[in-house]
Structure 1
Amino acid sequence: MPIPAPPTNVRVVTFQIDGRDYSAREDETIIEVARENGIPIPSLCYLEGLSTWGACRLCLVELAGSPRLVAACATQVAEGLQIYTDTPRLQRYRRTILELLFAERNHVCSVCVSNGHCELQALAQRYGLDHVRVPYRHVAYEVDASHEMFRVDHNRCILCTRCVRVCDEVEGAHTWDVMGRGSDCRVITDMNRPWGASDTCTSCGKCVQVCPTGALVKQGTSVGEMTKDLHFLPYITRRRHNR
């Protein structure tokens, strides 16, 4: 079934990204347009097919004439915008954000089942993160292996809430949610019951596939074995939209 045409009342606007001219519908976000045109803007919480969360702040971009940075995933394009996606200022901000993510939890890539297949690790390599300049929290988080097919390691969770959103918006189960405040937040299943005791989990595995790190993985995977497939999500959402 063909994708329906956009509403006729949506204007097409012209703007610049990194000095080049682009056109897009005014209801599209900066990150959508950038990725459609092969412009890499990093993000960990954004995922095509899910609602916008805007939490990781890695997709911050600069706008000419504006002193503040804006989140590309939550900012729509507009006529005449001049957008910059990879300035030295943005590189410093992104590296600092990555350092804070590594310091908040206990990410040890060498023994992680997602080693080599981790979005957080890939971004750390991209921005040359070989050490962390802030103190580690060194808080030991639990590993819940009560589910017969999957497990959750809270030491590797970055609170992107992809699992929460895909379970609610795509699977419709709403097994996952977030508990706590600040650095003490963690994702939970069924009002903080063990995952294996969940009454709502359908064992579909969508949450595992969209997790950007080694926090949600399949049981039985060893170091470097956990690969994930994100292509199913845009396909599902497009099919639902075209019904």
Structure 2
Amino acid sequence: MPDKITISINGTEIKTEEGKSILSVCKENDIHIPVMCHFPGLTDVGACRLCLCEVKGYNKLLPACTTLVAENMEIQTHTEKLKEYRRVIVEMFFSERNHMCSICVANTNCELQDMATEVGMQHVRFPFLNQECAVDASHPKYVIDHNRCIMCTRCVRVCSEVEGAHNWDVKNRGYNARVISDFDQPWGESETCTSCGKCLNVCPTGALWAKGSVQGKLDKFPEKITDLIEKRGIH
């Protein structure tokens, strides 16, 4: 059995076990930490940086989803510094791609919108990059709109870890990063996609959607993926 350890989160002493992430311990103790790339049961990658925490003894912020707890670790999850940092991150999400919420199929059913409200975003303080991002509608059932992608890689991980198809991957880095199908070919030409729709159900924005969806009427069922993962005992 894992060794029992004692840590401190926001000044409260907590008994837990080695091998757990800060995020999982926070969840067990009803301490909410904002996340966008995390999805229950999928491998954590620390892509969105929203779960960054302050840990005593470290001169940089650490992602709660990929940082394991250790004996006597002192963690702060909601300092003013972190709150401002998270606001900046969300504003950068909006400025980097073209999130036209009013005409998006995921309007009012979007985790990015919810996160903007949670972190108290009032406006975007950064210049919009106005990238020319492609919309791939070559698949007979689904569409991927790169304008609304925040590079959380949930789709990549659910396709690989749950469906086992490995259709999605990421090319390039930073500004030029894109989710690609197979070897960067149109989604409709993919030889690995099973058309299962799991990627649509874990996508936090309107980047992935089923054809026929209309403005503000995108249906997502992330709980189906969570239930499937739990029943399979993947994690």
* Fold match by TM threshold 0.5: yes
Equivalent-residue separation in structure 2 for 1:61 and 1:181 (angstroms):
24
Secondary structure of the 1:133 match is coil
The answer to whether residue 107 in structure 2 is matched with residue 115 in structure 1 is: yes
**Mapped partners of 1:197, 1:225: distance in 2:** 27
Counterpart position of 1:125:
117
State the match for 1:179 in structure 2. 171
Among 198, 206, 223, the residue aligned to 1:231: 223
Q: Structure 1 CA distance, aligned partners of 2:148 and 2:197? A: 18
1:216 corresponding residue in structure 2: 208
The one-letter code matched in structure 2 to 1:184 is N
1:53-102 superposed Cα distances (whole Å, 9 cap, x missing partner) = 11111100112343321100011112222211111000111111111111
Question: TM-score w.r.t. structure 1 length?
Answer: 0.91
Kept after mapping to 1: 8 A contact 2:201/2:225 = no
- Number of the residue aligned with 2:6: 14
Residue 57 (structure 1) aligned with residue 49 (structure 2): yes
Cα-to-partner distance string for 1:86-125 (whole Å, 9 max, x where unaligned)? 1100011111111111111001111111111111111111
Q: List 4+ stretches of structure 1 deviating above 3 A.
A: none
- Give 3-state SS (helix, strand or coil) of 2:222's partner: coil
Match of residue 106 from structure 1 = 98
Aligned length: 234
Question: C-alpha deviations, 1:20-76, integer Å up to 9, x for none?
Answer: 222222111011111222211111111111112111111001123433211000111
Q: Which runs of 5+ in 1 are unaligned?
A: 1-7
Counterpart selection for 1:134 from 103, 116, 126: 126
Match of 2:147 in 1: 155
**Whole-angstrom distance in 1 between the partners of 2:77 and 2:29:** 13
Aligned AA (1:165): R
**Mapped pair 1:27 → 2:19:** yes
RMSD: 1.4
Aligned to 1:5: none
Structure 1 stretch displaced more, 10-19 or 81-90 = 10-19
* Secondary structure, counterpart of 2:143 in structure 1: strand
2:35 is the counterpart of 1:47: no
Residue type at the aligned position of 2:64: A
Shift of 1:238: 2.9
Deviation at 1:133, TM superposition (A): 1.1
User: What's 1:3 paired with?
Assistant: none
Match of 1:231, SS?
Answer: helix
> Which of the residues 58, 61, 64 maps onto 1:66?
58
SS at match of 2:132: coil
Task: Quote the residue 2:88 is aligned against.
Answer: 96
**Percentage of pairs with the same residue:** 50
Q: What SS does structure 1 have at the residue aligned with 2:188?
A: helix
Q: What runs of 5+ residues in structure 2 fail to find an aligned partner?
A: none
Q: CA deviation at 1:135?
A: 1.1
CA–CA separation in structure 2 for the residues paired with 1:156 and 1:222 = 15
